[in-house]
Amino acid sequence: MNKRFVLDSSAVLAVVNSEKGKENVESKFPDSLVSSVNVAEVLTKLAERNVDLNDAIDNFLHVGLDVRDFDLAQALKCAELRPHTKHLGLSLGDRACLALAIQENATAVTADRSWANLDVCGIEVIR
C-alpha cells in the first residue's frame, strides 16, 4: 500500500516536542513515510537534549512510522532539487523529504512555511 505523506524532521519534532501543529501530524502517522535522513536529524536534535536514543528509536517503531532508507535515486533527486530550493535555504534533510515525496507521489508534510511556494510535489504546512 502506498503511503500518502512523507514527514519532514520539523513535522516529527512538532509531535515529539508537543508543538503547535502536532495534531496535524499525529493523525497522519499510519499513512506516512519518513526518510532515514530525517530520522537522523530528529535523533540528532534529541541527542542534543540528552534523550535516550534507543527509546527514541523504539518510539519511531511503536507509532508505526515507515522509515525508508535513503537511496541513490533519492540522492540524485536531492541534487536536482538544490538549484530550485537554494534560495529558501533548504537543507539536505529537507530535500531528502521532498525527494522521497516525489518518488512516492506523496505529499510532503513540514512545519517550515518557506516550503509553501515550492512547486515540486504536494506540500502541507502544519502551522
pLDDT at 53: 86
Domain 5-125 coded CATH 3.40.50.1010: yes
Q: What is the DSSP letter of 78?
A: H
Domains of the chain by residue range:
5-125
Asked if 34 and 92 count as a contact pair (C-beta separation under 8 A), the reply is no
pLDDT at residue 93 in the model: 97
Q: Which residue has 524532521 as its cell numbers?
A: 9
- In tens, the pLDDT along 63-103 reads 778 999 999 999 999 999 999 999 999 999 999 999 999 99
- The predicted pLDDT at position 87 comes to 93
Residue-by-residue DSSP string for 73-115:
HHHHHHHHHHHHHGGGT--HHHHHHHHHHHHHT-EEEES-GGG
Name the CA dihedral angle for 114, 98, 89, 87, rounded to a multiple of 10 degrees. Answer: -80
